[in-house]
Structure 1
Amino acid sequence: MAKKNINEMSFLDHLEDLRWHLIKITLAIVIVATLAFVFSRFIFEDIIFAPLDMSFPTYKYLCDVATYLSVDTSFCSDKIPLILQNRTMAGQFSADIWTAILAGFVISFPYVVYQLWKFVSPGLHSNERKHSRGFIVISSLLFFMGALFGYYVITPLSINFLANYSISSRVDNQIDISSFIGLVRSSVLASGIVFELPIIIYFLTKIGIVTPEFLKKYRKYSLVVVLILSAIITPPDIASQVIVAIPILVLYEVSIIISKVVVRNQKRKEKKHV
């Protein structure tokens, strides 16, 4: 049966349409998660647990920098003083399941965005719908860039700092596997979502909630928010917070430019209709 025009759809029709898009999203995540579960050994050994090895690229790079600057650092250690353990009967199985679901969401992200866009796009003008492919590509690219940033920067910095932090030589770091995976998961997802800032600003500008002037006016306050956010998702040391804050500030400045472009295009359209 042909799909109804957006103006002919009732509230229940919209809910039914949303339900089918959510079902498709769920099926995609489940299918990819199933494949991830099959290859879970590779995901854990070569991805999740990789930051526990001092040969991890981030550690090697920071060690080279520290050596060049003649600075003593834990990034040049032989190993990370941390032992993973499982203290519940279903702990490893639960870790496997939830990691597969996370992998399913991350890998399926472009399809998730595509389905959400298909739900929203009927309410847009035809010229706006033409940019749908660009929106899907850019939002997916930003998410994956953020996820990689979280994995290669925030995760190893957090692991190295927390594993080497000690209040006494009497205490060993024997970390539960759920705590370790939770750190990796939150670092990757939080970074992926934060990197979607330009997309969020684009839509907020389109609906008139945000303007370039507003973003410029509260730039100083946004700097404070960024520093607080970087302090939350990174270890409590200045170097790590600065490393995380820099790309977020760059994204904020890019968002101002995007907001300017949106407002300029809207003014052009208004002049054409006058």
Structure 2
Amino acid sequence: MSDPKPSQSEGTEETFISHLVELRDRIIRAGLSVIVVFISLVYWAPDIFRLLTRPLMLNLPKDGKMIVTDVTGSFFVPMKVTMLVAFVIALPIVLYQVWAFIAPGLYQHEKRLVGPLVGSSYALFLCGMAFAYFIVFPTIFRVMAHYNAPLGAEMTTDIDNYLSFVMTMFLAFGVTFEVPIIVVLLVRTGLLTVKKLKEIRPYVIVGAFVIAAVVTPPDVFSQLILAIPLIILYEAGIIAARLIVGKQQEPEVEPEDKKGSGAAG
């Protein structure tokens, strides 16, 4: 009589290997999409970098320039910027590859949730980056120039340091604009209720200002630019959670009211 255990283990091993092969293929496709976009943009790398530095250049003194302290900085920094732009452009393809890999293991209702979730997350992250570029950067650089003027200090920066600052701000505001999605997910998964989110609102407000103080330059105006949108987006997340899943939580309170009215009767 043959032992079925070896055949079962072989089947499990084959399934595991097939998943690894599929994961490898998905990663290669995602990486190739980023590389293709990067190659398409690399010719315009200096123009892309100039576009990124435009908010700073507009607030520098007349004839003000950025400096390069690293021998290879003038080459690699624009390449890094172009690669990051390529990644943002190709991100929908990267996310699709991730989705295609995990989709077979999801339930149907989870599949219906992931699509809108990923799309809205991508759109909100882009909105956060746009808010940082068009609103935050000009404001911060204008304020910094105002502080430097009485000191007689010349406002300039190394291109590598500027890139690091810009990426930090893009990430901070991109994640900040994801707050409504995070709030909806917390309510959807049952980890928190809309009522609880309202109760912890004071702590969220304090946390928003703490995060703003850590991420932004040390002036009140710059901190308000991050803290206020964070609080507004939190409130927007509560409203969205109430509209999407709030009705599912209302019956939990209704039976008690009915029981009380029944007892009174």
> What is the Cα deviation at residue 225 of structure 1?
1.1
Compare CA radii of gyration and give the structure with the larger one: 2
Q: Is the 8 A contact 2:42 2:79 kept in 1?
A: yes
1:84 aligned partner: 66
Structure with higher helix content: 2
1:30-179 aligned at under 5 Å gives the runs 30-45=35-50, 47-54=51-58, 79=61, 83-166=65-148, 169=151, 171-179=153-161
Secondary structure at the aligned position of 1:84 is classed as: coil
Under a length normalisation based on structure 1, what TM-score does the superposition of the two structures give? 0.73
Q: RMSD of the TM alignment (CA)?
A: 3.2
Tell which deviates more after alignment, 170-179 or 92-101. Answer: 170-179
**1:254 partner letter:** A
- 2:157 aligns to what SS in structure 1? strand
Residues 194 and 121 of structure 1: is their aligned pair in 2 closer, same or farther, counting only changes over 3 Å? Answer: farther
Paired residue secondary structure (1:108): helix
Deviation at 1:128, TM superposition (A): 3.5
SS at match of 1:89: coil
Query: Structure 1 stretches of 5 or more lacking a match?
Result: 1-6, 55-76, 269-274
Q: CA deviation at 1:251?
A: 1.3
Distance 1:199 1:114, change over 3 A: farther
- TM-score normalised by the chain length of structure 2: 0.75
After superposition, give the CA deviation of every residue in 1:5-28 in whole Å (9 maximum; x if it has no partner): xx9996665555444433332222
Q: 1:22 aligns with which of 23, 27, 32?
A: 27
Work out the CA distance in 2 between the residues paired with 1:129 and 1:170. 59
Q: Does the 8 Å CA contact 1:80/1:163 hold for their aligned counterparts? A: no
Q: Quick check: 2:216–2:223 contact (8 Å CA) kept in 1?
A: yes
Name the CA distance, whole Å, in 2 between partners of 1:264 and 1:10.
Answer: 41
Task: Classify 1:246/1:170 alpha carbon distance in 2 versus 1 (closer, same or farther; 3 Å).
Answer: closer
Structure 2 unmatched ranges of 5 or more:
1-11, 252-265
Q: Provide the C-alpha distance between the structure 2 equivalents of 1:14 and 1:208, rounded to a whole number of angstroms.
A: 31
Instruction: Give the number of aligned pairs.
Output: 239
> Which range moved further: 127-136 or 9-18?
9-18
C-alpha contact (below 8 Å) 2:124/2:178 kept by paired residues: yes
Q: State the percentage of identical aligned residues.
A: 31
How many Å separate the matches in 1 of 2:57 and 2:34? 30
Local SS of the residue matching 1:175: coil
Aligned partner letter, 2:212: S
Q: Give CA deviations for 1:176-204 in whole Å, capped at 9, x if unaligned.
A: 11011222222222211221222233334
C-alpha displacement of 1:85: 0.6
- Letter paired with 2:171: L
Asked whether the equivalents of residues 184 and 240 of structure 2 are also in contact (C-alpha less than 8 Å), the reply is yes
Report the counterpart of residue 254 of structure 1 in structure 2.
Answer: 236
- CA pair 78-263 structure 1, distance change in 2 beyond 3 A: closer
1:243 CA drift (Å)? 2.8
Which position in structure 2 is the counterpart of 1:238? 220
Q: Measure the CA separation in 1 of the matches of 2:123 and 2:95.
A: 11
Distance 2:110 2:72 in 1: 49
